[in-house]
């Protein structure tokens, strides 16, 4: 058997084919920046969230966008007087901008949750926390989603 130097670099024809196939299967066009802004406005009632105080834990590079582990933690004493009321997660380029919205309170003891989400493609993820004083805090993170070469179909 002769042994040509089969795929020696990632731009190999077959790799391209796989990539194109994967691209063609990506879900419909992503949410528009307007839809993202509108979803965030609905959560904050129009208030502009300030950066800081929120940790958004998501791997910067993911192997598969179907189940991406994500954690959100908000700095807060979680007392009656000073606590987090809600945490919402938004994305930039899935078909819909909302991911999950959670309601909590001082009885939660901590403002921390984790889940697994879908990311249709590389994009920005935004976590917003609603605080008991009516203010909003946020954190954002850019995530690169690699497209699989070998997909079922």
DSSP track, 1-65: -----TT-STT-HHHHHHHHHHHHHSPSPPPPHHHHHHHHHHHHTTPPPEESSEEEE--SEES-T
Q: Which stretch binds other proteins (CB under 8 A): 48-56, 110-118, 126-134, 135-143?
A: 110-118
Rounded distance, CA 129 to CA 99, Å? 14
Let me know: does 100 contact 117? Beta carbons within 8 Å: yes
Based on the shown chain and the rule CB under 8 A, indicate whether residue 94 belongs to the binding site for other proteins: yes
Based on the shown chain and the rule CB under 8 A, indicate whether residue 85 belongs to the binding site for other proteins: no
CB of 151 to other proteins, least distance (A): 6
Rule CB under 8 A: which of 33-72 touch other proteins? 59, 61-64, 66-69
CB of 142 to other proteins, least distance (A): 16
Q: Rule CB under 8 A: choose which of 15, 37, 38, 48 binds other proteins.
A: 15
Q: Which stretch binds other proteins (CB under 8 A): 5-13, 47-55, 133-141?
A: 5-13
Let me know: does 121 contact 30? Beta carbons within 8 Å: yes
Measured from the Cβ of residue 150, the count of other Cβ atoms closer than 10 Å reads 7
**What 3-state DSSP class applies to 95?**
coil
- What are the residues binding other proteins (CB under 8 A)? 1, 3, 6-7, 10, 12, 14-16, 18-19, 22, 27-28, 59, 61-64, 66-69, 78, 91, 94-96, 98-110, 112-119, 146-153
């Amino acid at each position: 058997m002769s042994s040509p130097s089969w795929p020696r670099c990632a731009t190999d024809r077959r790799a391209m084919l796989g990539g194109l196939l994967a691209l063609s299967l990506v879900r419909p066009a992503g949410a528009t920046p307007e839809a993202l802004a509108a979803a965030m406005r609905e959560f904050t009632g129009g208030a502009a969230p300030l950066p800081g105080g929120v940790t958004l834990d998501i791997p910067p590079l993911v192997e598969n966008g179907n189940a991406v582990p994500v954690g959100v933690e908000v700095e807060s004493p979680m007392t009656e007087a000073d606590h987090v009321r809600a945490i919402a997660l938004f994305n930039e380029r899935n078909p819909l901008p909302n991911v999950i919205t959670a309601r909590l309170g001082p009885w939660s003891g901590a403002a921390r949750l984790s889940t697994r989400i879908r990311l249709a493609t590389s994009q920005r993820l935004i976590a917003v926390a609603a605080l008991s004083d009516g203010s909003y805090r946020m954190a954002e993170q850019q995530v690169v989603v690699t497209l699989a070469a070998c997909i079922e179909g």
